[in-house]
Structures are given as C-alpha cells and as structure tokens.
Chains A and B, each alone.
Chain A
Amino acid sequence: MTTIASESRTRPAPRQYHDTGNRWQTILLEVIKYAVLIPLTLSFAFPLYWMISSALKVDSQVYTMPPILLPFPIHPENFIEGWQILPFTRYAVNSVVFYTVPAVAFTVLSSTIVAYGFSRIRWPGRDTIFWLVVMTMMLPWAVTMVPLFITFKWLGWLDTYRPLVVPALFSHPYIVFLLRQFFMTLPEELSDAARIDGASEFGILFRIILPLTKPALAVVALFRFLWAWNDYLGPLIYLRDENRYPLALGIEQLSRRANDVGNFSNGIPYLMAVSTLVALPIIVTFFFAQRTFIEGISLTGMKG
C-alpha cells in the first residue's frame, strides 16, 4: 500500500526506468515471477489442504490410488468420532486451563514490569545489564534442560504443569526485548508529567504506558499463546500421567493407536481430523489477528 503510494508520488512513470527500455524483458520477468510464485504457494498450502481434506474421508477414500483431491461424499462426523477415541476434551482443558492461560498471563505480566524497568526508568548500568537479557535470548535451551529437570524433580513437580508455567513468572527474555522496543518509542514527557503529579512508577506503567501499548501486548500475548499451545518437548519431558496430557501429546498418542493396524478403522482420517481441530485455533487466530502477527514478527528482525 505505502509502496504504491510513494511510488506514484515520486515517479509518475516508473516503468520507463524499471525495464531500461526493454519491454520484453519486463514481461518475461513478470511471467517467471508468477510461474514460480503460484506453484510455490500451492505447494506451501497443500499439506494443510491435505490434512483438512483427508479429515473428511473414510479409509476406502484414503487408500485409493491415485489420491482423491476432492473427497465425495464427505464425512464430517470424523471430527466428532476422532475426538472421542481418546479423552481429547480433557486434553484441551489441560492445554488451555493448566498451560496456555497461566503461561500467557504470567509471562505478559512479569515481562511488562521487567521491560518497563529496562526502558522507562533511567538507572546506572541498565543498558549493560540489558545485554545479558539479549544474551539469554540466544542461549540454547538444551543446556538448561537436564539440570532444570533435576531441580523440578527434586521439588516434586514432575507430572504437573508447574515446570512449564512457574518460570513464566520470571519474565521471558524475548518478550522483554519486544516490549522494551515498544516502550522506548513513547515520549519521555508522558512519564515526566505523571511523575510531577506524584504518580508512582507502577501507577505510570498501568495507567499511562499500558493503555498506549495494547497492540504490543496483543503481539506478545499471541506469541506466548502460540509457544504454549504448540509446545511438545516440554510436556513430553515433564508429564507422564495420560490424564494430564495437553493436546500435543494427545495427538501423538492417537497416532500410535492409529498406526497399530487393526486397532480401529479410519485411523488416518481421525488423526487428520484431530490435527485439524488442534491447528484450527491457531489458523483462526491468525486470520483475525493477521496484522498483529505480521507486525510482531516484523519487529523481531528490527535492530537484529
């Protein structure tokens, strides 16, 4: 949008410059561009299309060769039947209530406070210490995986969501980094005026800064939601009891059952149906909050 606007403003006829006099070259480039881009996009979309369309098939349609692109008749009942093979409703409750919601709430709250301390208060040594935050962003999680497991086992936290959620109370370096970037863009005068009026720093943060950075909070909350919802390794390490499984481990469990041939029919359609249902909240959120996603991701690269 903006590019088009600025283009037309600066150059009334940019085409003359682009093709350096060779119209055929320009047309050829356009053709190549779409000839690459369209098949590429189709192949990016195909796996997810295949997941959804296979979710609507029955076994006989799955094993037919060549593959059926548009299943008919469709079998939407797979979504209900697949969901009921294992206690997926319980897994969904576990994912939402015990993992996603606390992880998002804790991370956003703690990281907001920390990011405020790293951006809106001027104290000696602040920017030096912030480098440590940036460093921890790059620390491989594999290094702390084993000792943290040992610590959490010692605390008796195995088979609970505490190892996955309690660390969120201590902020997340990447989210602190993003929020700090946002907070720095607000003019210092805002805080100064409030300070003269006798507002405390917490008062400034919650009454002045946060209302102005709602989009930023949405961005980081969205990312944290994504990480918790998609997390597989964390639950795999800490949860043994099937009743406590989140959706990610539930899907894996279903795939093991479906792969034992003869266990039940329509194994693949059920697996695809449940996978679709688990991916759905993410895809729907993306389409409703597309701009938030894109803005957040774009900010990641800034000041790399």
Chain B
Amino acid sequence: MAASTEKVSRYTPQEWRNLRLGLLFVSPWALGFLLFTIYPLLSSLYYSLTRYDLLRPPVFLGAKNYLTLFFDDPHFWNVMYNTLFYVGLSVPFGVGAAFLIANMLNSRIVARSFFRSVIYVPSIVPAVASAMVWQFLMNVQYGAINGVLRYFGLPIIPFLSNPGWAKPSLILVAIWAQGAAVVIFLAALQDVPRSLYEAATVDGANLWHRFRNVTIPLTSPIILFNLIMGLIVAFQEFTVPWLLTEGGPMNSTEFYLIHLYRNAFEYLRMGKASALAWILFLIIVVFSLIIFKSSARWVYYGGEK
C-alpha cells in the first residue's frame, strides 16, 4: 500500500496513461508468456518428478526419474554421447564453414548474389523434402554418390547404414543447410569499414593479419550469436535424423530430441520425458553460459561494452 501511494506521487498522469497503454499493447505477449512458457516450464518440472502415462493420474516419485536416467538407464548416456558428438562437430564446423564461405563471398567477386542464393536456398527448403533427397543420394545400392564412387572403382560409403558413418553423414546434411548463417555473416562483413582494411594494408598487414586482426574482432559478436543459436538448434535436432535414420543404425543417431519424443509420444512416459527435457534445458543453459563467459575474452564490442 505504502509503495503504491509512493508510486502514485512519482508518476505523472501522463506516465500512468502510458503504463496502462503499454501494458495493454504487450498483454497478448504477457498472457502467452504465462500460458505457453511459465506454466509449461513449471508443470514440466512437476511432471519430471512423477510417473505419468496420461491415462492414470501422475504418481509422485521424487527425484527417481533423474536418478534412474543418470545411474540406471542403458540408453541415456549413449543418447548423451550421440548428441554431444553431433553438436560438438556440427556447430563449430557449421559456423566455421559459414564464416569462411561468407568471407570468400565478401571479397571482390563476380555473381556474388548468385553464389549467395545457391548457398542459402537449402536452408529454407522444407526439411522433409531435403531429407527425402539425402536419403536417396546416400543410399548404398542406388544412391548417386555411391554410384559415382563405384564407377571410379572406389569403395562405397555406407552413409546411413553403418553406425560409424551415420553421425558424420547427418552432420554433413546439417552443414549443407547452414546458409542462413552465411547470409548473417555476409551482412556483418559488409558492415566492416573498408578504411580499416586499407589502414592495416598501409601498415604492412598481409591477408592473414587483416583477417585475424580486423575481420574476426569486428564480426565476433555475430560469431557469438551464430554459435549460440546453432547450439540451441543442434541440441534439438529432430526432423532430418528422424526421417533419415530413425535413431539407427544400432542407436548411433538416437539424438536427444528423438529419445525424448519416443519416451513422450511412443511410450507415453511423460514423467521421464519431462525429466529429459529439464536436463536438456540445463545443459543448453550451461553451454550458453560458458560461451557467453568466454566471450568476454574474444568478443569485441567496439568499445561500447
């Protein structure tokens, strides 16, 4: 009460009017935030402490779901390994490749927008459609890639049917669909002032020096952005592995979201699935924080921050 009377005296009628209006305008978001973010977050935390199959009411188990996952689940650590393998390679290589391609496109070049379009389009094609082509391309018997290898007398590659090859193959598909990052990088590179490169050249910097000391620092916030976004997406990759390998062969592509999906919607283990979801949430938060913390050392904010 006391606080609110204080506020009355602090805000002018105009400010009150603005506050009411502002809240009115953002109310769809606020309502959605409560209904589709806060409530699900809290309820999934609750479900993660229960056994719940949608048919009978949830049974409270305490931390049992988490303990079973960590210490008594033959699949969990394999799923974790698969996911970290996939994220650990697809994100750095994807972002790195995107950055290098963007740099090549940013130099003096003919038909830049043509190259850019060709590299961007795979990222917007429906994942289901591209999964169909890749499945066909990577087929052992009649896939085009193995057809060419066989024609030249080279050994064929069991892209999707060999547990050792399946993960790298899916990473390849993921990198193929990295075009959005290339476009974001290219936009950032074009914002780097020309004069800096010219000054560096006058000072005797060669191509590598210019790349290392001008390009990378000035685009580092965007590298950070693409790393974090890539991380969030890669940890939750579902469609392409689900359609290409369905977690196989021999569970080698059973990634986190596939495992979560199976538990929730095939086995109706809503409690276990919620526990999996919360673990994933915490992993993503921790990884993002690590990247953010380390960014203080390598991200350059133009003297602002």
Interface residues of A (CB under 8 A from B): 2-4, 6-7, 10-11, 14, 17-18, 20, 29, 33, 36-37, 40-41, 44-45, 47-48, 50-51, 54, 62-63, 65-67, 110, 113-114, 116-118, 121-124, 126, 129, 132-133, 136, 138-151, 153, 167, 169-171, 173, 176, 201, 226, 229-230, 232-233, 237, 247-248, 251-252, 255, 268, 271-272, 275-276, 278-279, 282-283, 286-287, 290, 293-294, 297-298, 300-302, 304
Assuming the contacts A48-B121, A118-B26, asked whether A301 and B188 have C-beta atoms less than 8 A apart, the reply is yes
- Measured CB to CB, the nearest residue on chain A to B205 is A20
Interface of B toward A, CB cutoff 8 Å: 11, 15, 18-19, 21-26, 28-29, 31-33, 35-37, 39-41, 43-44, 47, 54, 101, 104-105, 107-109, 113, 115-122, 124-130, 132-137, 142, 144, 147-148, 150-151, 176, 179-180, 183-188, 190, 194-195, 198, 201-202, 204, 206-207, 221-222, 224-226, 228, 232, 235-236, 238-239, 243, 256-257, 260-261, 264-265, 270, 273-274, 277-278, 280-281, 284, 288
B44–A144 CB distance below 8 A: yes
A-B contact pairs, 7 of them (CB 8 A): A44-B118, A113-B25, A121-B22, A123-B21, A124-B19, A140-B235, A146-B44
- With A143-B44, A272-B136, A282-B125 as known contacts, state yes or no: A170 contacts B36, CB within 8 Å: yes
A304 to B184, CA, bound (A): 11
If A136-B37, A170-B31, A282-B124 touch, whether A145 touches B25 (CB-CB below 8 Å) is no
Secondary structure at the B interface, as helix, strand, loop or mixed, is helix
A275 to B144, Cβ gap below 8 A?
no
Task: Decide if B43 touches A150 in the complex (CB within 8 Å).
Answer: yes
B236 touches A297 (CB 8 A): no
CB distance from A243 to the nearest CB of B (A): 19
Q: Which residues of A contact B188 (CB under 8 A)?
A: 301
A286 in contact with B126 given A10-B198, A275-B133 (CB within 8 Å): no
Query: How many A-B pairs with Cβ below 8 Å?
Result: 281
Question: Once bound together, how far apart are the Cα atoms of A283 and B125, in whole Å?
Answer: 7
Evaluate contact between A142 and B28: CB separation under 8 angstroms: no
Inter-subunit contact A50/B144 (CB<8 Å): yes
> Contact: B101 with A40, CB < 8 Å?
yes
Residues of B near A301 (CB, < 8 A) are 184-185, 187-188, 222, 225-226
A185, chain B: closest CB distance, angstroms: 16
* Complex A-B, nearest 5 residue pairs according to Cβ-Cβ distance, in ascending order: A170-B32, A117-B25, A304-B225, A123-B22, A298-B187
**Contact call A147/B43, Cβ cutoff below 8 A:** yes
Query: Which chain B positions have C-beta within 8 A of A54?
Result: 133, 136
Contact A251 to B129, CB < 8 A, known contacts A18-B201, A147-B39, A297-B184: yes
The answer to whether A297 and B180 touch across the interface, beta carbons within 8 angstroms, is yes
In the bound complex, residues from chain B placing their C-beta under 8 Å from that of A286 are 117, 120-121, 124
Q: How far is the CA of A150 from the CA of B284 in the complex (A)?
A: 24
Given A40-B101, A50-B144, A123-B18 in contact, is the A114-B26 Cβ separation under 8 Å? yes
A271 nearest in chain B by CB position: B132
* Distance between Cα atoms of A278 and B136 in the complex (Å): 17
Minimum distance in angstroms from A88 CB to a CB of chain B: 13
Q: What's the least CB distance linking A86 to chain B, in Å?
A: 14
* Contact, CB under 8 Å: B25 / A114: yes
- From A14, A44, A170, A248, give the contact of B176 (CB < 8 A): A44
- Taking CB atoms, residues of chain B closer than 8 Å to A44 are 118-119, 122, 176, 179
Contacts A117-B26, A170-B29, A176-B29 given; indicate if A48 touches B133 (C-beta within 8 A): yes
Shortest Cβ distance from B214 into chain A, in angstroms?
Answer: 13
Assess the B36–A144 pair: CB atoms within 8 A: yes
Contact of A275 among B132, B137, B183, B281 (CB under 8 A): B132
Which residues of B are found within 8 Å of A14, using beta-carbon distances? 198
CA distance A304 to B302 in the complex (A): 14
Given known contacts A145-B264, A171-B29, A298 and B183 CB-to-CB distance under 8 angstroms: yes
Residues of A within 8 A of B44 (CB): 143-144, 146-147
The reply to whether A169 and B28 form a contact with Cβ atoms under 8 Å apart is yes
Most chain A beta carbons < 10 A, residue from B25, B29, B36, B194: B29
Q: Note all chain A residues with C-beta closer than 8 A to B116.
A: 294
Contacts of A17 in B (CB 8 A): 198, 201-202
Given the complex of chains A and B, what is the CA–CA distance between A244 and B118 in angstroms?
34
Tell me, in angstroms, the Cα distance from A33 to B108 when the chains sit together: 10
**Known interface pairs A66-B151, A150-B54, A251-B132. Does A37 touch B115 (Cβ–Cβ under 8 Å)?**
yes
